[in-house]
Amino acid sequence: MERLTRQTAGGGPVPELVVSGRRLVTPEGVRPGHVLVAGGRILAVADTDAAPASAQRLDAGENYVLPGLIDSHVHFRTPGLTHKEDWEHGSRAAVRGGVTTVMDMPNTVPPTLSPEALLDKAAMVAGRSLVDMRFHIGLDPARPELLATLDPSVATSAKVFMAGHHTAPTVVRDPATLERAFAAAAEGGVQLVLHAEDDGLFALLDTWWGEPGSYTEYERRRPRSGGIVAVARVVELVRRHGTRAHILHLSSAEEADLVCAARAAGYPVSFEVTGHHLSFTDADTRRLGARTRLSPSIRGQGDQDRLWRALFEGQLSTLGSDHAPHTVAEKTRSVAASPPGLPGVQELAVAAWTGMRRRRPEEDPDVAAARLARHLSQVPAELFKLPGKGRIAPGADADLVVFAPDRPWMLSAHDVESRCGWSAYEGWTFTGRVEHTLRAGRTVWDAASGAYGAYDGKLLAGPDAARAPLDSTPAAAAALRG
What number is the average pLDDT over the span 429-455?
A: 98
Mean pLDDT (the chain) is 93
CA torsion angle 94 95 97 98 (round to 10): 120
Contact 420, 84 (CB under 8 A): yes
CA–CA gap between residue 270 and residue 260 (Å, rounded): 8
Give the pLDDT of residue 218: 84
The pLDDT score that the predictor gives to residue 4 is 34
Q: Where are the alpha helices (DSSP H) in 337-473?
A: 348-359, 365-373, 379-383
Would you state the pLDDT for residue 477?
40
Which pLDDT value is given to residue 291? Answer: 93
pLDDT in tens, 59-100: 999 999 999 999 999 999 999 999 999 999 999 999 999 999
Comparing 466 with 406, which gets the higher pLDDT? 406
pLDDT of residue 48: 94
pLDDT at 215: 87
pLDDT of residue 315: 98
Q: What is the pLDDT of residues 22-35, one digit of tens each?
A: 999 999 999 999 99
β-strand partners of 21 = 33
Confidence of residue 466 (pLDDT cuts 50, 70, 90): low
Give the C-alpha separation, 412 to 416, whole Å: 7
Please give the pLDDT value at position 468: 60
Distance CA 36, CA 14 (A): 9
> How many helical (H) and strand (E) elements, i.e. helices and strands, does the chain have?
15, 18
As a whole number, mean pLDDT of residues 265-276 equals 98
pLDDT for the residue 472: 32
In this prediction, residue 10 carries a pLDDT of: 52
The pLDDT of residue 213 is 81
pLDDT for the residue 5: 35
Which neighbouring-strand residues pair with 320? 274
pLDDT at 220 over 90: no
pLDDT tens figures, 376-389:
999 999 999 999 99
Quick count: other Cβ atoms within 10 Å of Cβ 450?
8
Flag whether pLDDT at 453 surpasses 70.
yes
Confidence of residue 209 (pLDDT cuts 50, 70, 90): confident
Q: Is the pLDDT of residue 480 over 70?
A: no
d(CA 191, CA 385): 10
